[in-house]
Structure 1
Amino acid sequence: MHLVVLFHNVGGYHAARLRATHAVCKTNGWTFTALQVVGQTQEHPWGNLANVITFPLQTILDTDQSKSADQDRLVRSRLSAILDHIQPDVMAIPGWGFVASRKALSWCRRHRVPTILMSESKADDEPRHWWKEVLKSWLYVRHYDSALVGSRLHADYAVSLGIPSDRVFRGYDVVDHDYFVAEAEQARHNPDAVRQQQPQIPCRPYFLAVTRFIPRKNVSRLINAYHAYRQQVAEPWDLVLCGSGIEADNLQQQAQHLKLDAWVKFPGFVPYTVIAHWYGLAKALIHPALQEQWGLVVNEACAAGLPIICSDTVGARYDLVHSDKNGFLFNPNSTDDLTRCLVALHQLEETQRQHWGERSRAIASSYRPENFAEGMLQAADKALNHARYAMDIINM
């Protein structure tokens, strides 16, 4: 049995999931292949991942050519050629919005290969129009044989689009939990050595946000809330904003205008290979997004043992953030509500903050790569059985 898993681009957390899946496939006597549409992207420069990609991986395009009119044509033709060559018996495909996803689904339907939908879409991601939902369901979603999703919210949405609930499995949104535990603890035990290697990490206590600088990530409101927070507490912490994006210049200008230059830090994009050290030396993670399908940085920060301040629209909110137990939830449209959470977390006793961080780690321990692999094989078995049943009906 040959399982093929397609991603747009294999980064650090994808690699962890795929390693675990490869291991389970080997245990079960299955063949495994990972496919990625592009090998390098500007949006996610993951850094050198050669040591963590220990599974068969094929790449359709070496670099992202999204500005080229020929990219879609190249993806379609090369993906078809690869699938013709490797001949999957069951294939996991990320959603329906990518050209590669739709092409893979079409190829599998044509060759009667069972398919697994990998999805972290939920109903409240954006305003939904009934006629678009009907088209989405009939053109794409109903043709999948099973699904692997992250949360209950994702499962509910997949069911609403036509996948029976008994064919929907959990475990999609995981990270390499043990890696973030180990690296964060290393940073705490050797902070001077870590800061010598990464001098941009502040020596003062700091809140941390790891995000992209685009409007829906809501970083501008976070800066305003941080400005208000500084006026309400003694000895306020710094704010570190790791990331890059189209709003970077505007956000830095905003911090300058509010005279926050000395306390709001913009270290740029911090690669996967070292980001755990930034978690390890932080006081808490803030995830301020207006909308987020899941939020894997919450997994990472929980594994690193941090309390969490999280928007109540983030997909991981019910799973990973338990209000007043390991963090706070807030309304991302309210600067005052976010300020309240910053002040409240700052004012906790240090022992309680540590207890919340320990609770975060315990919660996140159920979201490991092995959970992805287990869910994937359950979804594969269900897809294969459903496809066989459908063929039996056709052949009656």
Structure 2
Amino acid sequence: MSRARLAFVWAQFAPYHLDRLDALAGAGFAVTGIALAGASRRYPWPPAPESRSWDHRTLAPATPLEALSERARTRALLGALAAVRPRVLFLCNWPRPHVLAAACWARRAGVPAVVMCDSWAPEAAPDAWPRRVAKRALLAPYRGGLAAAGRAAGYLARLGVPAGAIAYGYDRISVARVRALANSTPWTGGPAPGFVVVARLAPEKNVAGALDAYVRYRRFCTASGHAPAGLTILGDGPLRAPLTAQARGIPGVRFAGFVGPDVVAATLARAEALLLASWREPWGLAVNEAVALGVPVLASTAVGATETLVQDGRSGYLLAPGDAHAWARAMHRLSAEPATRARLADGAARLAPRADVGGFVDGVGWLSERLA
């Protein structure tokens, strides 16, 4: 195992970033994790504990991410990289100016830069050439890629990242952590959560579509004589007010707001199924959490995680994001057929190894040996 120092840069440390760096350190890698800020308004994760088993650096611990200009981000990040001098540098958010500056610094310093990416686009719908040229220019400094799965890898290769230096495994979490949280966190949310949405309340997440499907689902339950499950929505965002207004008068709907990973795990562990109806979703880490807990997933065909973590009819259902009737039928089937729900739950649990952070360690290990 190479002890060459690896550096990873994210905007802030979320629990799943800590999972990945902890796993790398546990596997014997020398790791530096760099976060631009200690918190953000968009994702108010708690600050990362300082007592980690790897080199932990938060560049602006007391400043929200949104208050840091690109100039301030670039200055702080380049200073940190010059001090760390990693053997391989892993970067995400590649379109951002400060990330491009870091990738260019790496090229000048002779440090291989790896782009971490879960973005993808159908091959049949390529970007117009000006956008494609611009993207290729932004990715030109990179020597390799760490992709979420095959579609993201293909996307990077089409944009010029060397295809022979792209590994899989980016979007992974610690299955053990999620299970431990679910087992140790008491349920304090009242009745069983029923169907659960874990998403930022933003247009691309299509929570309005999930509410529409839930109304239709309740009608199916009334017609068939089955008691409907509830709908619990975990998350916050700019559409909180209109979505709350849409849900007014619909029995069984509960908005819980932004909650910590312990509450997410405790809620999902008791869910009928996870609903992720997004119009656009590069990955969707809530799917990882659901399969870690053996919970069926009803997911939009636009969700990237469905490539490896949802098997239609075996661990959940894949549905068109705009087909509220199909979503309602799938939800009703889970409620009305306990054996079907149990079969899908078992299928989801069998996919848990694909969601686990071990895949991240494998991908990073392969790249570090190839590029270092």
Normalised TM-score (structure 2): 0.92
- 1:229 paired with 2:229, answer no
Show CA shifts across 1:305-355 (max 9, x none). Answer: 101100011001121110110101110022222222222222222x43223
SS at match of 2:66: coil
Counterpart-to-counterpart distance in 2, 1:95 and 1:249:
29
Counterpart-to-counterpart distance in 1, 2:290 and 2:21:
21
Contact 1:16–1:52 (Cα < 8 Å) also in 2: no
Aligned amino acid, residue 380 of structure 1? S
Q: Which moved more, 1:49-58 or 1:206-215?
A: 49-58
Counterpart-to-counterpart distance in 1, 2:260 and 2:55:
23
SS at match of 1:34: strand
- 1:55 paired with 2:43, answer no
Counterpart-to-counterpart distance in 1, 2:102 and 2:207:
36
Counterpart-to-counterpart distance in 1, 2:53 and 2:198:
27
Q: Which moved more, 1:326-335 or 1:40-49?
A: 40-49
Contact 1:116–1:380 (Cα < 8 Å) also in 2: no
Counterpart-to-counterpart distance in 2, 1:382 and 1:85:
24
Counterpart of 1:14 in structure 2 is 17
Residues 243 and 106 of structure 1: CA distance in aligned 2, closer, same or farther (over 3 Å)? same
- 1:284 paired with 2:276, answer no
Counterpart of 1:379 in structure 2 is 367
Counterpart-to-counterpart distance in 1, 2:147 and 2:153:
6
Counterpart of 2:131 in structure 1 is 132
Q: Which moved more, 1:337-346 or 1:33-42?
A: 337-346
SS at match of 1:13: helix
Counterpart of 1:190 in structure 2 is none
Counterpart-to-counterpart distance in 2, 1:173 and 1:335:
28
Q: Which moved more, 1:7-16 or 1:202-211?
A: 202-211
- 1:213 paired with 2:201, answer yes
- 1:299 paired with 2:292, answer no
Contact 1:183–1:280 (Cα < 8 Å) also in 2: no
Q: CA deviation at 1:100?
A: 2.7
Show CA shifts across 1:103-137 (max 9, x none). Answer: 21011112111111111110149972222112211
Aligned amino acid, residue 361 of structure 1? A
Contact 1:290–1:313 (Cα < 8 Å) also in 2: yes
Q: CA deviation at 1:164?
A: 2.9
Show CA shifts across 1:36-60 (max 9, x none). Answer: 1111111112235428844211112
Show CA shifts across 1:252-276 (max 9, x none). Answer: 11111xx21x410001111113321
SS at match of 2:351: helix
Report the RMSD for the aligned CA atoms in angstroms.
2.0
Identity level (%)? 27
Contact 1:47–1:273 (Cα < 8 Å) also in 2: no
Counterpart of 1:2 in structure 2 is 5
Q: CA deviation at 1:95?
A: 4.0
Q: CA deviation at 1:376?
A: 0.7
Show CA shifts across 1:237-261 (max 9, x none). Answer: 10000110010011111111xx21x
Counterpart-to-counterpart distance in 2, 1:302 and 1:265:
23
Bigger RCO of structures 1 and 2 (CA < 8 A, at least 6 apart): 1
Aligned amino acid, residue 150 of structure 2? R
Gaps of 5+ in 2: none
Gaps of 5+ in 1: 188-193, 385-396
Residues 67 and 87 of structure 1: CA distance in aligned 2, closer, same or farther (over 3 Å)? closer
Q: How does 1:36-51 map to 2 (within 5 A)?
A: 36-47=35-46, 49-50=48-49
Normalised TM-score (structure 1): 0.87
